Structure 1
Amino acid sequence: MKKFLVLFLSLGLALALAACGSTDDVSTGADNSKDKKTEEKKDDGSKKVDASKQKTEALGMKINLGDVKIMKDKVNVGINIENTTKKQLHFYPDQGKAVVGDMQLDANMFLTDGQVGGDVEGGVKQDGVLEFTVPEGKEIDVNSVKEVKLKFGDVTTEDFMKNKDVSFTVPVK
């Protein structure tokens, strides 16, 4: 029983540490005071792209991207949002999708770093890093990625009478 408990705690700690470290170097774009490179290839085989010029507005919700980090097993996307209205808006980017080549990756809402989306009250700003995981048994060839399509779903008004889709296509060189 003690061996099982030690193994379980060790595995839990290892998973927690692995999940925490993967979003540390991904900017949400909320603080633009840093001098950033447009694209950066990392020693770990990943590639990071500055997507902070990717912005849109949907029904009073401002959506801005930060960094997009492409790894063989996931894509992390920094994002910041602001509800510029006085009413609640519904937006769930942590339930969205990313398309890389012919592969669709689903967002993992449990591995999202920060709080982004949900029922966002008027005047509220949020930022965080969304994690899109590769389907089991597959890998991304980081060097062959030309673009990442991000499908965050709809922004919907409080009364559910209006909605607008939020999607981005981030070029990767």
Structure 2
Amino acid sequence: MKKWLVLFMSLGLALALAACGSTDDVSTGSSDSKDKKTEEKKDDSSKKIDASKQSTEALGMKVNLGDVKIMKDKINVGLNIENTTGKVLTFYPDQGNAVIGSMQLSANMFLTDGEVGGDVQGGVKQEGVLEFSAPDGKEIDVDKVKEIKLNFGDVVTDDFMKTKAVTITVPVK
């Protein structure tokens, strides 16, 4: 009984901490998103960029960005995807990484807000906000970031015969 109680409390704490991730003000770039400024400096020393003009396509999977919010400990990336084929495509952008200069930040799939990726059925659209965390003991110098290279991983066909990497580089002014 004690084990279940500890497990339940741990799960509750994890969910509460996940809810504290500042993704509310990051647009996914879908047609439902609100209008926003191209670049915005925040009072909390973060910077938000409208990256909605950044997109790519891999094996029939359209990948479009929304906002990118740079903070000293993480980067949040709004993303929307669409499988334009009639078949299942597998894609896990929440397991990718972001590169800023010589620093690599890993995506945290447990802190992803929304549903984006996995086995995506033909014709399905998904959106969410991905969180890329800075390595332990390191901080991002928000003012010195010139570009962010986002490596979202591979799109894979349902027969595993074709794969294509999805990478988007976002310039930061």
TM-score (norm 2): 0.89
For residue 34 of structure 2, what is the amino acid of its counterpart?
K
Match of 1:146 in 2: 146
Cα deviation, residue 18, structure 1: 6.4
Instruction: List structure 1 runs of 4+ shifted beyond 3 angstroms.
Output: 12-15, 17-21
TM-score (norm 1): 0.89
Equivalent residue, structure 2, for 1:95? 95
CA distance in 1, matches of 2:33, 2:91: 27
Looking at structure 2, the residues matched to 157 and 110 of structure 1 have their Cα atoms a distance apart, in angstroms, of: 25
SS at match of 2:106: strand
- The Cα shift of 1:123 comes to 0.8
Q: Which residue of 2 aligns with 1:50?
A: 50
- State the aligned residue count: 166
Shift of 1:117: 0.4
CA offset at residue 86 of structure 1? 0.7
Identity %: 80
CA 1:118–1:47: 2 relative to 1, 3 Å: same
Q: Give 1:20 shift.
A: 3.5
| Deviation (angstroms), 1:100 | 1.0
Question: In the TM superposition, what is the alpha-carbon distance from 1:60 to its structure 2 partner?
Answer: 0.6
Which residue does 1:27 correspond to in 2?
Answer: 27
Q: CA deviation at 1:34?
A: 2.6
- 1:1-80 correspondence to structure 2 within 5 Å: 16=16, 19-31=19-31, 34-80=34-80
- What is the DSSP-based 3-state SS (H/G/I as helix, E as strand, rest coil) of the residue aligned with 2:109? coil
Unmatched 5+ residue regions in structure 1? none
Distance 1:97 1:108 in 2: 9
SS in 2 for 1:94: helix
Q: Any stretches of 5+ residues in structure 2 without a counterpart? A: none
Q: State the superposition RMSD in angstroms.
A: 2.0
Measure the CA separation in 1 of the matches of 2:39 and 2:127. 21
